[in-house]
Amino acid sequence: MINNITAPIKPHAPARTHAPVVPARTTHHKSTPPPFKRSFSEAPIAVPQFIPTSPAQDSIRIIPLGGVEEVGKNMTLVEFRDEIVIIDAGFQFPGEEAPGVDYIIPDTTYLQKKKHMIKGIFITHGHLDHTGGIPYVMDKLGNPPIYAPLLASVMIKKRQDEFPHLAPLKLHVVEKDSKLNVGKHLSVRFFNVTHTIPDAMGVMVETPYGNLIFTGDLKIDHDNGVPLEHEMKTFEEVGKSNNLFLAGDSTNVERAGWSFSERAVHENLKKIITETKGRLIMGTFASLLERVIFVINTAEEIGKKVLLRGRSMKNNVAIAIEVGMLKVKPTTLITPEEAESLPPGKVIILATGAQGEELAALMRMATKKDKHLKMTKSDTVLLSSSIIPGNERSVQKLKDNIARQGAKIIHYRIADVHSSGHANHDEMLWIHKMIKAKFFMPLHGYHYMHRLHAEIAKEAGLTDENIVIPDNGMIIDIIEGGKKIVVQKDMAPAGVVMVDGLGTGDVKDVVIRDRQLLAEDGMFVIIGTIDIKTGKLRQSPDIISRGFIYLKESQDLLRQTRFLIKKTIEDTTAEMHPVNFDYVKNHLRDKIGKFLFQKTKKRPMILPVLIEV
């Protein structure tokens, strides 16, 4: 069944200044990022001059545009004859290599040249690494229809409301076992999978030569390594088909055995909720919606109240109520004022910020910056999430701040209060054996994970010739009517496309490089007023330093620097009529740069501003 969701869902001057020319730096920075493409723009976007070749008439083309070599930014396309379908359109949060950048999204250059062929974007589930790129790519792709499960559809629509200037989405709700004939050659089916968010689905693209299976993010619901009945039923049904190709989740394949069951997590959480005498503060990801729903339902069963803290937590719970996945009495969810008037043992706080984010709800409570809620010695803080690599120090800081308030801490390393939403080694092996695909490509994860997943595929009976380890932009063709899989020499563009600030204009590599330099050694601004008749400074130059030296404690260095600035400018302009200001600035930048490095061993960005009078 397919429902349209285009409408809102109801429940059920005189002086001339020579501005500085920022220099190109070649040796100091650690590394130069890859070329960056245009991010998001309200103005029409010029499509780069890239002319993609088309697959042969009997070939099926698969191109991962994101989600391989990385975690996040998931987007894969399937092309057959004159039809294209797209699986997911996510984004990725940038690391320290891209300061000031909001998101990284897939490079859609290949698709922009073929947007007339796009039959739809098919979403596996509502997490932002699979849906977050939608506002930034739809205009480029001609605003094709989007097909998604109900929960994901509502989450997509609510986020799209933050972009009122964009054209309305052609958003359709699909249910499990839905089948869409999207064109003359391709059909798409959905099937249920287990993940940390309800309504997660796998996607099957049906072609004349066999089916292409995209698992999305998934794990197997099991009891001591024995899949439960609903999992057996789903994958037995999928396995009956003529499955030509499998693209499978690789995020947790390096972990042995079977993943810890979410049902077991729920049992442990219920025990903690029931037995905790004081106030319980639970920090977790708002995206772990199935767990959040369980905690709220459990609290209501035993007569406790729930306070939601954090914007994303409130939004996701509101969406779960809107679509009917959470049915809760209005009196169960309370305000901070109501929480203060209740006995502590009757209150559960569900908060964002379990990764130690400075401005998140949990850290504000732990540092006494929340105007309503302060942690006390009688509180129990439950961190129901694992530590994302790179967040170890921030999580430790969070724990330290909680401990300073005297609260008890429970986390996943001392109790089974968290389970990943991704399948371990033995689960993926079971999935391979059930689906019985002829060809395989790992998705979702770093290259090392993909290599490990390839070994699992070989355990299941595949040969090296039928396995492709992908890179972003790799063009993979299944040729000769489904008989052989090949990797083309050409690559689809797969540059790093960034959404920055207000989301308008280009984020070029030089911009990112300059931000990195500013973060490392700061900036040093020289402001000088030059008499164009004599070429001499009218007064001592002004100096502004940010992130380089503390001026009040560096007076001797500043005195020497001012003397060198004056001498360099006047020596350079002595025989120069008229004065070439660009030449003077470049010469000044080189001289002062060398001098400051000799004195400080730092290379600040030097910006000369010369004013002629």
What local confidence, expressed as pLDDT, does residue 64 receive?
A: 97
Superfamily of domain 57-257+421-500: Ribonuclease Z/Hydroxyacylglutathione hydrolase-like (3.60.15.10)
What whole-number distance in Å separates Cα of residue 91 and Cα of residue 129?
5
Q: Does 24 have pLDDT greater than 60?
A: no
Tokens 């073929």, residue?
114
pLDDT, tens only, 391-425: 788 889 999 999 999 999 988 777 778 888 899 99
CATH topology assigned to domain 262-411? Rossmann fold (3.40.50)
What local confidence, expressed as pLDDT, does residue 495 receive?
A: 80
What whole-number distance in Å separates Cα of residue 293 and Cα of residue 298?
9
Spans of all domains in the chain: 57-257+421-500, 262-411, 522-612
Q: Does 41 have pLDDT greater than 70?
A: no
Q: Does 498 have pLDDT greater than 80?
A: no
Residues 6+ apart with CB under 8 A from 551: 543, 545, 558
Mapped onto helix, strand or coil, the DSSP state of residue 222 is strand
- Among left, alpha and beta (phi > 0; psi -120 to 50; other), residue 501 is left
Q: CB burial class (10 A; 0-12, 13-18, 19+) of residue 86?
A: buried
Better-predicted residue by pLDDT, 572 or 122: 122
Let me know: does 222 contact 189? Beta carbons within 8 Å: no
What local confidence, expressed as pLDDT, does residue 328 receive?
A: 92
User: For residue 577, what are its two tokens?
Assistant: 């009529």
- Which of the four pLDDT bands, split at 50, 70 and 90, describes residue 63? very high
DSSP structure class, residue 345 = G
Characterize the bridge pairing of strands 347-351 and 333-334. unpaired
Better-predicted residue by pLDDT, 391 or 474: 474
What local confidence, expressed as pLDDT, does residue 47 receive?
A: 44
Return the half-sphere exposure (C-beta side, CA atoms, 13 A cut-off) of residue 319.
Answer: 25
Let me know: does 291 contact 269? Beta carbons within 8 Å: yes
Let me know: does 291 contact 285? Beta carbons within 8 Å: no
Can you spell out the DSSP letters for 80-141?
Answer: ETTEEEEE----B---TTSTTEEEEE---HHHHTTGGGEEEEE---S-HHHHTTHHHHTTTT
User: For residue 463, what are its two tokens?
Assistant: 């040969």
Which DSSP helix (H) or strand (E) runs through 266? helix 262-275
Does 249 participate in catalysis according to the annotation?
yes
**34: Cα separation from own chain's centroid:** 18
* Cα separations in angstroms, 96 against 91, 128, 285, 299, 509: 16, 20, 22, 39, 14
Let me know: does 498 contact 507? Beta carbons within 8 Å: yes
Q: What are phi and psi of 417, to 5 degrees?
A: -115, 15
Let me know: does 76 contact 64? Beta carbons within 8 Å: yes
Neighbours of 509 (CB within 10 A): 15
Let me know: does 362 contact 348? Beta carbons within 8 Å: no
What local confidence, expressed as pLDDT, does residue 37 receive?
A: 37
> For the packed helices 555-573 and 581-600, what is the interaxial angle rounded to 10 degrees?
150
Neighbours of 240 (CB within 10 A): 9
What local confidence, expressed as pLDDT, does residue 45 receive?
A: 40
Least confident of 353-367, 423-437, 442-456: 353-367
| Share of residues in the chain with pLDDT > 70 (%) | 87
CA dihedral over 487, 492, 498, 503, signed as positive or negative: negative
What whole-number distance in Å separates Cα of residue 86 and Cα of residue 67?
13
Does 372 participate in catalysis according to the annotation?
no
pLDDT, tens only, 303-314: 999 999 999 999
Q: Does 25 have pLDDT greater than 80?
A: no
Active-site position among 249, 379, 477, 500: 249
Domain 522-612 carries which CATH code?
3.10.20.580
Neighbours of 321 (CB within 10 A): 16
Let me know: does 469 contact 449? Beta carbons within 8 Å: no
- Which of the four pLDDT bands, split at 50, 70 and 90, describes residue 269? very high
Can you spell out the DSSP letters for 436-484?
Answer: --SEEEEESB-HHHHHHHHHHHHHTT--GGGB----TTEEEEEETTTTE
Bridge partners, residue 89, by sequence: none
Amino acid 472 reads N
What mean pLDDT value characterizes the chain? 85
- Which of the four pLDDT bands, split at 50, 70 and 90, describes residue 581? confident
Average pLDDT over residues 489-507: 70
Please give the torsion angle defined by the CA atoms of residues 385, 391, 394 and 395, in that order, rounded to the nearest 10 degrees. 20
Least confident of 54-58, 148-152, 453-457, 468-472: 54-58
User: For residue 72, what are its two tokens?
Assistant: 């996040």
CA dihedral over 19, 24, 28, 31, signed as positive or negative: positive
The answer to whether the peptide bond before residue 33 is cis (omega within 30 degrees of 0) is no
Residues 6+ apart with CB under 8 A from 533: none
Same fold, 57-257+421-500 and 522-612: no
Tokens 């960056």, residue?
36
What whole-number distance in Å separates Cα of residue 227 and Cα of residue 433?
13
Question: For the chain, how big is the Rg over CA atoms in Å?
Answer: 29
Let me know: does 283 contact 363? Beta carbons within 8 Å: no
Which DSSP helix (H) or strand (E) runs through 382? strand 380-383
Terminal C-alpha separation, the chain? 75
Active-site position among 130, 411, 422, 453: 422
pLDDT, tens only, 75-123: 999 999 999 999 999 998 876 655 556 788 999 999 998 999 999 999 9
What whole-number distance in Å separates Cα of residue 283 and Cα of residue 291?
11
- Which of the four pLDDT bands, split at 50, 70 and 90, describes residue 53? confident
Q: CB burial class (10 A; 0-12, 13-18, 19+) of residue 170?
A: middle
What whole-number distance in Å separates Cα of residue 472 and Cα of residue 131?
18
What local confidence, expressed as pLDDT, does residue 95 receive?
A: 61
DSSP structure class, residue 18 = E
pLDDT, tens only, 172-187: 999 988 899 999 999 9
